[in-house]
Amino acid sequence: MKTLKTSLKTIALFFMTLTLLQSCVAYQKTPVSLLLAEQSKKRVKMKSSSNQKYYFKQIALEEEQFYGLKKEKGEIVRIVISDYGTNEVFLQSKSKSIWATLAVIALPVGVLYFIAATSVDRGFDTGLTF
């Protein structure tokens, strides 16, 4: 029974970590054109002239009109981009996303795990039960 409980906790921890590692998205610093964003088929962050930010899964070009594709309630919705008065378009940076994920999520989790592991070895009661 104890082996099953340990296995279930390990599996749950694995899936939580996997979910957290997929959550961070970082964008490039240099803006690109809408045409280049459409050709790249990457996630896009757009800034309007009023400094509002919009996030799209990707940009689509149909009949000389650009659309931002967004997923809402399980369906992909097309939003006309000219309505936003776009000033800048930024593409997703895969390498920055990976490093941001490691720095923001994995590093603090690792530090907390290290602190918990060393405090148990020293005989401190952390209140954590595993």
Q: Are the CB atoms for 62 and 50 separated by under 8 Å?
A: no
Residue 126: per-residue pLDDT: 54
Look at the block and give the residue holding tokens 């296995």. 7
Sheet holding 44-48, edge to edge: 53-56, 44-48, 86-91
- What pLDDT score does 91 carry? 86
CA atoms within 13 A on the CB side of 17: 13
Note the pLDDT of residue 47.
86
Using only the alpha carbons of the chain, give its radius of gyration.
21
Confidence (pLDDT) at 116: 73
Kindly give the confidence (pLDDT) of every residue in the chain, 130 residues in length, as a single tens digit, with 9 standing for 90 and above.
567 777 777 777 777 776 666 667 778 788 888 888 888 888 888 888 788 888 899 888 888 888 888 988 889 888 888 755 667 888 887 776 666 666 767 777 777 777 777 765 555 555 556 5
Torsion-angle region of residue 28: left (phi > 0), alpha (psi -120 to 50) or beta? beta
